[in-house]
Amino acid sequence: MIEFVWRWRVALMASIVGVVAAIMRFGSLGYPQALVFDEVFYARGAYSLVTMGYEGEWGGENQDFANGDLSQLSAEADYVVHPNLGKLMIGWGIQMFGPTPYGWRFMAAVVGVATVIMIAFIARHLLRSTLWGGVAGLFLAVEGEHVVLSRTALLDIFLTFFIVAAMGLLVIDRTSAHRRLLAAAAFDRERLGLGPGSLIPGQGPNLGIRWWRLAAIATFGLSVSVKWNGLYFAAAFLVLSVIWDWYDRKKCGWENWFAGGFVRAIPAFFATIIVVPLVYLASWIPWFRSENSWGRHWAENNPGEGLTWLPDSLNSLVHYHEQMLEFHRGLDSPHNYESNPWGWPLQIRPTAFYFEDVTDVDCGAERCISAIHGIGHPLIWWVGAAVLLYALWRIFRHRDMLALTVTTGYLAAWLPWLPFAHRTIFTFYTVTMAPFLVLMVVWAMKRLAQPDHRRGKWWKPGAIICAVYIGLVLILAGFFYPVWTGEPIPFEYWQMHMWLPSWV
């Protein structure tokens, strides 16, 4: 009976957050009938990939493609600066539903909903609570940056999906490893005749091949196959996995816990430097298979240049990557919506994806507009900035492993961009921060409502504060929904959402 109730609660939690996420992402997904922001690159590139096997040059006006005119696609290869996987996934939606706005946004919405559900389960495990897992999933379901990117055919939502999936696999790996470490510690103490709290000689057991961690490494390879900055997350989370191992070995009581964790990290390191490149290389199979791909025959046309010891196809791919790297290094052209990453935690300069006057819909006002702004949910982001400071204090003052766990993804998504503040970068990159932002915020909420000293019991004032906060988050999500989805609204109502001058 207890197991049935437990399963029923978990199923209900997953169903609620999944339904809310789907409503936010699939509602009027085909609107607007236009290429929104950088969909001009990725939607058209995806169509080209799944029809020709490579990305071709497009002519004509952007709206021609949105209106169904596909005649402007030429056989001439286009120079693109991101790997293929995200665009291939966009293309799967196009194959299912055609080259329509719904078709090229479909897979973004699917992985957006999947990410919400994964975060709910990750939070449930980390916080040991189905309720708090549901709150985390609900917060991500209504988080503006994640909603907007889940409704747009850009790459970053796919990057976010694979990063969260990889973290989830590492959490499963840790749970499995910890269970085995506890069993080994109990066995060694009994074998050596040691008391329950005594130190155990040695480093702890060799757990063999950790398949869940290997799966996480491969999934990080998929994230890099969407955008290169997946490498930052791979490095951060795999280091965190080693820290978990040290922590668990020490907690179980082995004297040489550090050496034990370090030695076992060496195979994981070599697996990473082998598996991630192999997965990444596999994502370029369409490029290898298409004779007309950009730069496909560079090595053959330039004998004696590049890495001549490689086969011509790989030499050409390396040269192509050198070109892409040079492009990214020089990406510093001014843009109306570029943002300084120092302002990302407060969403100082959100990205305007779309803004048009609407004349064919009566919104009940003299001027009607359709606008899509990548504005992160203010109550979640602004509270999250304060929670980050608290979490860092917990890490350095109390060596709080859970605080480190919930902040790692946030910091991995943010800190690497700070040295590149001079480049043309955008706030919508923070969609990769959003899942870990809600983990941080909900972790802090639990500490407020169920303080450690109460051993899981509720503190009524803290619980009331959290309940009011959840209500305000949901109400504000409803208020911002029109400017996250492009729903036609009066111009004056749009102005009510522009809380900061930098949001206009």
Q: What is the pLDDT of residues 73-92, one digit of tens each?
A: 888 888 888 899 999 999 99
Higher pLDDT, 273 or 423: 273
Q: Is residue 175 part of a domain?
A: no
The predicted structure's pLDDT at residue 1: 44
Tokens of 114: 């999947």
Looking at the fold, whether 310 and 416 belong to one and the same domain comes out as no
Of 126-130, 338-342, 418-422, least confident by mean pLDDT is 418-422
**pLDDT number for residue 415:** 95
372 within 8 A of 360, measured Cβ to Cβ: no
Q: Whole-number mean pLDDT of the chain?
A: 92
Query: 170-184, 251-265, 334-348, 385-399 — which is least confidently predicted?
Result: 334-348
Same-domain pairing of 403 and 451: yes
Does residue 6 have a pLDDT over 80? no
Q: Are residues 19 and 85 in the same domain?
A: yes
**Element containing residue 98 per DSSP (H, E):** none
What per-residue confidence (pLDDT) applies to 219? 98
Report, in angstroms and rounded to the nearest whole number, the Rg of the chain calculated over CA atoms: 25
Same domain, 439 and 308: no
Distance of CA 128 to the CA centre of its chain: 23
> pLDDT tens digits, residue range 436-492?
999 999 999 999 999 988 888 999 999 999 999 999 999 999 999 999 999 999 999
- What's the residue count for the chain? 504
On the question of pLDDT at 271 being above 50, the answer is: yes
Maximum average pLDDT range among 216-220, 367-371, 486-490: 216-220
Contact of 500 with 375, CB cutoff 8 Å: no
2 has pLDDT over 70: no
CA angle 105, 107, 110 (to 5 degrees): 115
- Asked if residue 300 belongs to a domain, the reply is yes
Domain boundary among 298, 329, 360: 329
Model pLDDT, residue 117: 97
Establish if 171 belongs to a structural domain: no
Containing domain of residue 317, as a range? 286-329
Euclidean distance between CA atoms 38 and 28, whole angstroms = 19
163 found inside a domain? no
Q: What is the mean pLDDT of residues 251-256?
A: 90
pLDDT of res. 3: 52
pLDDT over threshold 70, residue 5: no
Does residue 388 share a domain with residue 295? Answer: no
Q: Residues 203, 188: contact at Cβ < 8 Å?
A: no
State whether 295 and 365 are in the same domain: no
User: Token pair for residue 357?
Assistant: 């006057």
Q: Measure Cα distances from 329 to 52, 82, 235, 431 in Å.
A: 30, 13, 21, 22
Q: How far apart are CA 345 and CA 387, in angstroms?
A: 11
Whether residue 258 contacts residue 117, with contact meaning beta carbons closer than 8 Å, is answered with no
Contact between residue 202 and residue 256 where contact means Cβ atoms under 8 Å apart: yes
pLDDT above 90 covers a percentage of the chain that reads 69
The reply to whether 320 and 347 lie within a common domain is no
**pLDDT tens by residue, 8-57:** 889 999 999 999 999 999 999 999 999 999 899 999 999 999 999 888 88
> Where residue 335 falls among pLDDT bands split at 50, 70, 90?
low
Q: What is the pTM of this model?
A: 0.95
- Whether 111 is covered by a domain: the verdict is yes
**440, 388 in Cβ contact below 8 A?**
yes
Same domain membership, residue 80 and residue 92: yes
User: What is the Cα–Cα distance from 415 to 212, expressed in whole angstroms?
Assistant: 27
Dihedral of CA atoms 360, 361, 364, 367 in degrees, nearest 10, equals: -50
Strands (E), 181-240: none
Q: How many CA atoms lie within 13 A of 230 on its CB side?
A: 35
SS3 460: helix
**What percent of the chain has pLDDT above 70?**
98
Domain for residue 258, yes or no?
no
388 Cβ partners below 8 Å, 6+ apart?
Answer: 345, 407, 410, 440
Higher pLDDT, 408 or 366: 408
Is there a single domain that holds both residue 489 and residue 383?
A: yes
Phi then psi for 58, rounded to 5 degrees? Answer: -110, 140
pLDDT digits (tens, 9 = 90+) for 220-230: 999 999 999 99
What digits encode the pLDDT tens for the residues 126-184?
999 999 999 999 999 999 999 999 999 999 999 999 999 999 999 999 999 999 999 99
Please identify, among 329, 351, 386, the residue that sits at the C-terminal boundary of a domain.
329
Say how many domains are in the chain.
2
pLDDT at 359: 85
- At 38 the pLDDT is 87
Residues 342 and 464 in one domain: yes
Asked whether residue 295 falls in the same domain as residue 370, the answer is no
Per DSSP, 254 falls in state: B
234-247 per-position pLDDT tens digit: 999 999 999 999 99
Alpha-carbon gap, residue 188 to 361, rounded angstroms: 74
Residue type, 25: R
243 occurs within a structural domain: no
pLDDT at 409 over 80: yes
Domain closes at, from 299, 314, 329: 329
Summarised one tens digit per residue, pLDDT across range 383-405 is: 999 999 999 999 999 999 999 99
In a domain, 261, yes or no: no
Q: Are residues 123 and 19 in the same domain?
A: yes
158 against 203, higher pLDDT: 158
In degrees and rounded to multiples of 5, residue 353 shows phi and psi of -85, -30
Q: Residue 194: is its pLDDT beyond 80?
A: yes
